[in-house]
Each structure stands twice: as structure tokens, then as C-alpha cells.
Structure 1
Amino acid sequence: MMKKQLIMEKALELFAKHGFEATSVQQITEHCGISKGAFYLSFKSKDELILALIDHFMMQITSDIDYIVRNTKDDKELLYQFYYATFDSFHKHSDFAKILIKEQTQTFNQEFMLKMHYYNRLIQNIILSLLERLYGDEVKQTKFDLIYCIKGFMSTYSELFLFYNAPLDLDLLSKSLVEKTNLLARHTTIPFVSQELIQMIKQPLNEEVTKEQILKIIEQRIAEMDEPIEKESLILLKQQLLDPTLPRAIVKGLLENISNHPHCKWISYLLRCYFEF
């Protein structure tokens, strides 16, 4: 296991018990069995470690639901698959999801808030594309309200199993939220959230990812990867970024090769956006 990954996993155990504020670097290093010097070789501070955990958690969820929305061909199944993937991802990362929901009620630095706004915008854009695909002009006036309704479903229903130990029946939950979303989409007539309001409250996406940044991430993953199929796919995708000569079908197949690997989900998401799949 890489040292950064070890620190993140062990720190998460402590954050789950004590929260961000009450957990010290000293406690983290003792729990990991490493020196403070080794910690600071991986992370400049505890805040940087927390931001890395947020990145990991939000990248997994964002890439999971983006993959579903882009690759579910049957419109009748799309909304169900979206909700299923969302809550399945929350469940897989429930330890950190609990911490994040609790800690967001406290005061965080601006970097934390900008990061959360960034991922919030990405998820809003995914939901918007889903709504436009499923309902088209039917929700032209209400689609931004619907985005907030769906985000509300995602947040409040996740709390049921994260904090109240309600049994998680993903199939029933997804079907129930599909019914509610369809009712709202087809019968809501009075919009509150307009496109003008969305533009007014938008935060700038300070973390727009450039081609050079994508190449850097790919190179890091290639260096870390042992699995031959994923590694070769990343090498070919890197070449495609530098010199786009492969047919789209081949590029799509290469993306499929890496999309389910836990360390490749984010780069898969970035490449899907870059190549417009």
C-alpha cells in the first residue's frame, strides 16, 4: 500500500471517531506507525490531508454517476440507475460521507468551500444533462428547480441510512425516488430557480482541468498501475491526447477498460468530458 493511501485510510478511522478538529497529526502518525517527518513528506498539513480525502470521496461519487448518465442507453432505466448508483456510492464510502455531512455544519476555510462548490457544480451539470435528456422541453422552465429537488433527495435520504441506521434497500429507494422525480417533472408548473438566478449564484470553477493537467494525472496513474490492461489503456489514451488518431470507438473501449478501476475513475471522468463521450 502506498504511504499516502495508508495515511488517508488510517486518518479516516480517526476522523470518524473524533471529527476533523479533535484529531491531531500526532494521533494520525501514531495510528499509522510512522514519524511526523514521513507524514509531512506526503501532506503539508492536516488541512491538506482533509482536502485530499474530500477529493477522493467526491471524485468517486462524481465519476460513478457521470458514467451511469453517459452510458445508460435505455431512457426508461436512466433515472433508476442514477439513483441506484448515487446511493450505492454513498453506502460504499459511508464512513467519510458521515464525517463530511457532520463537519459541513462547522466553519471551514475558503479552500474547502471552493472545493465543495466545484464538485457541487459538476454534479449539478450531470443532473441537468439527465433532466434535459429525459424530459426535454417539458421541463424547460422548471429544470433548475428540479436539480435542487434531486440534490435534496440525495442529501436527505442518504441521512436515513448514514445516521439513523435505516435498512438500505437500494432497489426500493431508487424506484421510490424515480416516482417522485417523475411526478415533480410532469406536474410542477411554478418555477422559483431561474437560469438568471443560477448564473447569479454561480461560483467560478477555479479548478477547470486543462489538457496538461490531465496528462500529468495519467502519467501518475501509469507509474502506479500494475494491471496490464489498465496500464496499456492509459498509455494509449495519453497518446490520443497528444496525437488524436484513434477512432472514437477505440477510445471509448479504452475508457471502458479503466472506468471501473478504483484508482482510474477520476481520470476516466476527465477523459470522458475531454473527448465528449
Structure 2
Amino acid sequence: MEEKQVHIIEQASRLFANKGFSSTSVQEIAAECGMSKGAFYLQFKSKDALLYTLLEYYWKQIQHRVHTIHFISDDPRERFTEQIKVVIEEIANHREFIIMQVREQAIPFNDTIETFIKKMRTYGFLFYKKHLLDMYGDKVETYVSEMALLSQSLIRTYIDLIITDNAELDYLDIAKAILKRTDYLIEGFLNHNDQPVITESLIQQIIPADFASNQQIEIIERLKEIKAEEKEAELSDTADVLLEEFQRETPRKAVINGMTANLEKHTSSFDVAMMIRTYCTSY
């Protein structure tokens, strides 16, 4: 994203948080950024388009911070705890902006934003699903979809206290508590042979039908960029192998997992590695 667009996003976010989305005009945003309305419209077609880009920008910031924690430990439980802490911290850092959205119901549900929100929800679900499988293994596969949603609801409970009630809670303590409560829920399923209400077939009805195909297109485009621009032979060759695999009628997970491990060794390609991991969880 261009530096000028980032500047507009940051200034607009502050104005939206202070005045509200509907009460903030394009003229005020332009003035705060030290530019004319015409210059603003060269960057964004409308205030709604700005809001969409703002949401995507902050979401990608969170994704980046969460993904970089992958390198801190080989222990999936430690990674999960640290990543939950970061998610809560990032949301808390934008508390005023989130309150504005809730108060005004500011997000205009045009098709673009609605699609983006569904994408975020699906990513969130698959994020927790992958972590649960990493932590507990195949023995939880029957329950993993329901557990992924229950884990998300646990986090939302604490976030509501922080955002709505301005409760001062230690984010790391919350993350550790969520892991413990997840352990208890998993033990309950396993010890009582309980059957999930939320099954994998139900989840497949909820996840947008085109999610996997859109993911695949996005991954292929990113791999093409790496292949064209990367000077390091290992990364370029890895991207080439993955491109061939993703364009097969039935991609082989073993090959994809092996090549993705190569991408994860490099910070410049870690974003696409995480996209691939999410994709593999979804099909």
C-alpha cells in the first residue's frame, strides 16, 4: 500500500473514532491529511471505499503480527497462547474505533465489505481449527469444528469486557486462561465420548462456497510474484514447485506441506506460507 494511503487511513481512523463515521466528512479527512478533496478522491473513490481499505489494513496488521509469532517456539501451545495475546492486544488498541462501529453500525454492507467480513470470519475459524489440530492431534478431529467456534466465543467474552466495559485485564493471563478452558472442553469431549452439535458437514454449508477457490487464486498470484521477483534460488524454486502443485486437479498435501515449510523459513514469504496453511485446513 502506498505511503499516502496509509497516512489517510491513519488520520481517518482517528477522526472516525472521535466523531463517528457518519459525522466525518471527506472534506474533514482531506483537511486533516493536508490535502484537497480532489487529492483524496485520487486515492479512494468514496468514504465507504476508504472504510473498506481501513478494515483490510488493520486486519492485515493483526495477521502479520500473529503470523510472525510462529517463529518464537516449536511448541504449538506456546504459539497459540502468544497469538491469542496479540489478537486481544491489537483489538484493544483500536477500542475507540470498534466502539464507534458498534454505536453507529457504521459498516455499510455493500457486497465488497460483506464478502470481506465473511472472509475474515472464515479465516478466524480456520485459524483456531488449525491450532487445535496442532495442539491435540487427530484424536479431536470429530470435535474440532465445534471446538474452534467455542474457542472464538471464549475470546469474544473477554474482548467484550475490554471493549465495552473498559476492563483492565492482563492479555497474557487471558490467553493462558483460554488455553486452560480449551483443555477442559477437549477433555470433556474425549472422556464422555460426546458428539458435536456443529459437525464438519454443517461447517461446509456455512463457509462461503467460493472461499477455497478464491484462496487458491490469491495464493497462485502471490507465488507468481515470488517466482518473478525473488533472487534467492531456493525461494524461487519453491514457488515454482508450489505453482505446479496448486494448478493440479488434485493438489497433493504432502508436497504442499513440505514446500510450505521452505517458505516459512523466510520472512519475505511467510505471509503466503500462512495463506497456504489456512487453505490446507479448509479442503
TM range (shorter): 0.7 to 0.9
Relative to structure 1, is the Cα distance of residues 100 and 192 closer, same or farther in structure 2, using a 3 angstrom cutoff?
Answer: farther
Quick one: which amino acid aligns to residue 254 of structure 1? H
Q: 1:268 aligns to what?
A: 270
Task: Report deviation, 1:43.
Answer: 0.8
Bigger shift: 196-205 or 80-89?
80-89
Deviation at 1:54, TM superposition (A): 0.9
What pairs with 1:44-55 in structure 2 (closer than 5 Å)? Answer: 44-55=45-56
| Number of the residue aligned with 2:81 | 80
| Cα displacement (A) at 1:250 | 7.1
For structure 1, the 5+ residue unaligned runs are 223-233, 259-266
Report SS of the residue matched to 2:142: coil
Q: TM-score when scaled to structure 2?
A: 0.75
- Percent identical pairs in the alignment equals 26
Q: How do residues 135-150 of structure 1 correspond to structure 2 at under 5 angstroms?
A: 135-150=136-151
3-state SS, counterpart of residue 169 of structure 2: coil
CA RMSD across the alignment: 3.4
Higher relative contact order (CA 8 A, sep 6+): 1
1:41-78 alpha-carbon deviations (Å, 9 max, x no partner): 11111111111111111112233334445763114424
2:252 — aligned with what? none
Following the alignment from structure 1 to structure 2, what is the Cα–Cα distance between the partners of residues 198 and 132? 16
Secondary structure at 1:128's aligned position in 2?
helix
- The aligned residue for residue 220 of structure 2 is 211
Please give the residue correspondences for 1:109-258 in structure 2 after superposition, counting only pairs within 5 Å.
109-188=110-189, 189-203=194-208, 204-205=210-211, 207-208=214-215, 209-213=218-222, 236=232, 239=236, 251-255=263-267, 258=268
Aligned equivalents of 1:171, 1:98: Cα separation in 2: 23
Evaluate the alpha carbon distance shift between residue 156 and residue 268 of structure 1 in structure 2; reply closer, same or farther with a 3 A threshold: same
Mapped contact 1:61–1:89 kept (Cα < 8 A): yes
Does structure 2 conserve the Cα–Cα contact (< 8 Å) formed by 1:69 and 1:126? no
The answer on whether the counterparts of 1:215 and 1:238 sit within 8 Å (CA) in structure 2 is: no
Task: Return the letter of the residue paired with 1:268.
Answer: F
**1:194–1:239 distance in 2 versus 1, CA, 3 Å:** same
Q: TM-score, normalised by structure 1?
A: 0.76
Match of 2:64 in 1: 63
Secondary structure of 1:21 counterpart = coil
TM-superposed CA distance for 1:101, in Å, is: 5.0
Name the count of aligned residue pairs. 253
**Counterpart Cα distance in 1 of 2:260 and 2:114:** 37
Q: Kindly provide the amino acid, as one letter, of the partner of residue 272 in structure 2.
A: L
Instruction: Check whether the contact 2:9–2:50 (CA below 8 A) recurs between aligned residues.
Output: yes
